[in-house]
């Protein structure tokens, strides 16, 4: 019987996966697969979850949000494990899961995974780390990092919005230098987002994203007068923001970012590396189940 390493984050979302463990095991056993679970624990190196992976394993099943997926993918790359991954999107924000149309219902998601074949998907690389959905820097990009886990589990996405309101006094222009073959931007911005996926915080921002085109979607929100932000936000809600002259948008597979200001970077809700940043797209960097 082939095995599946099941790595689950019991702290994700509203702890949904904890009550679904037996269901996940049952569905896989019915499909002739043996679940080998690993419970993520705070303070423990995730590489321990992959120590005994060999050719008897079919794939890695990950239950959590985008940050959990990133952590597992980074551990896999470090150990040079090339197995497909499958995602049960049970976190507070499941942007990549939504992008690949994974159901929130665990039973539906498992059935979709079990009836699919691996698909090659692009992967983002930022300095020495990898990301599945989005890397960002600028205003509000560390909101997820600062939001209390217990608060997220209690009130969900509302916790992010409340924390974002707390950050409004820090609203300011940020000087940045961004270079690629396709575009150069040396000026002031509010926010930089580099997408492999499509959404961030459930907002569809990279509306032209394609996870198999070998390109990342870069969106720079320029530092415009505050009075111009409301019309821009309305355009964003309509999905028309990429055509705005207040936004710089392009696709690339290689990007350099330099910023001397006191801001952090973010990779799917987790702290990213320090500046300068080299952000690249690894075409067909990972195989994912449940897409077709």
Which residue's structure tokens are 């998907």?
A: 121
User: By the 8 A CB rule, do 137 and 192 touch?
Assistant: yes
Dihedral angle computed from the Cα positions of residues 54, 59, 61 and 65, in that order, rounded to the nearest 10 degrees: 100
Q: How far apart are the first and last CA of the chain?
A: 24
Instruction: Give the separation between CA 223 and CA 247, rounded to whole angstroms.
Output: 9
Q: State how far the Cα of 71 lies from the Cα of 268, in Å rounded to an integer.
A: 10
CA distance 289 to 211: 13
- What torsion do the CA atoms of 185, 70, 67, 7 make, to the nearest 10 degrees? 170
Q: Which of 127, 133, 247 is closest to 187 using CA atoms?
A: 247
Residues with catalytic function: 270
Residue 180 region, left (φ>0) first, then alpha (ψ -120 to 50), else beta?
beta
| Size (the chain), residues | 292
Find tokens 């095991």 and name the residue: 25
Measured CA to CA, the distance from residue 98 to residue 195 in angstroms comes to 14
Q: Is 80 left (phi over 0), alpha (psi -120 to 50) or beta?
A: left
Q: How many beta carbons lie within 10 A of that of residue 215, not counting itself? A: 21
């Amino acid at each position: 019987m082939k095995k599946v390493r099941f790595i689950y984050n019991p702290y994700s979302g509203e702890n949904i996966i904890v009550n679904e463990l037996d269901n996940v095991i049952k569905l896989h056993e019915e499909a002739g697969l043996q679940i080998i679970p690993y419970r993520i624990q705070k303070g423990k190196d995730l590489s321990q979850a992959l120590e005994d992976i060999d050719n008897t394993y079919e794939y890695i099943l990950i239950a959590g949000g985008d940050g959990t997926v990133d952590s597992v993918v980074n551990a896999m790359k470090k150990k040079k494990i090339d197995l497909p991954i499958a995602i049960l999107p049970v976190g507070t924000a499941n942007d990549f899961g939504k992008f690949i149309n994974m159901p929130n219902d665990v039973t539906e998601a498992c059935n979709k995974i079990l009836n699919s074949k691996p698909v090659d998907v692009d992967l983002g690389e930022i300095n020495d780390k990898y990301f599945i959905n989005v890397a960002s820097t600028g205003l509000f990009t560390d909101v997820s990092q600062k939001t209390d886990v217990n608060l997220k589990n209690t009130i969900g996405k509302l916790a992010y919005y409340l924390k974002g309101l707390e950050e409004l006094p820090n609203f300011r222009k940020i000087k940045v230098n961004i270079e690629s073959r396709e575009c150069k931007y040396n000026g002031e911005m509010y926010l930089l987002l580099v997408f492999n996926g499509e959404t961030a915080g459930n907002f569809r921002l990279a509306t032209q994203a394609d996870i198999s085109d070998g390109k990342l979607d870069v969106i720079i929100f320029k530092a415009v007068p505050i009075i111009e932000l409301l019309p821009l936000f309305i355009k964003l809600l309509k999905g028309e923001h990429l055509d705005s002259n207040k936004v710089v948008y392009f696709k690339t597979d290689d990007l350099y970012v330099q910023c001397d200001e006191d801001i952090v970077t973010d990779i799917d809700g987790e702290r990213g590396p320090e500046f300068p940043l080299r952000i690249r797209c690894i075409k067909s960097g990972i195989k994912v189940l449940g897409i077709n």
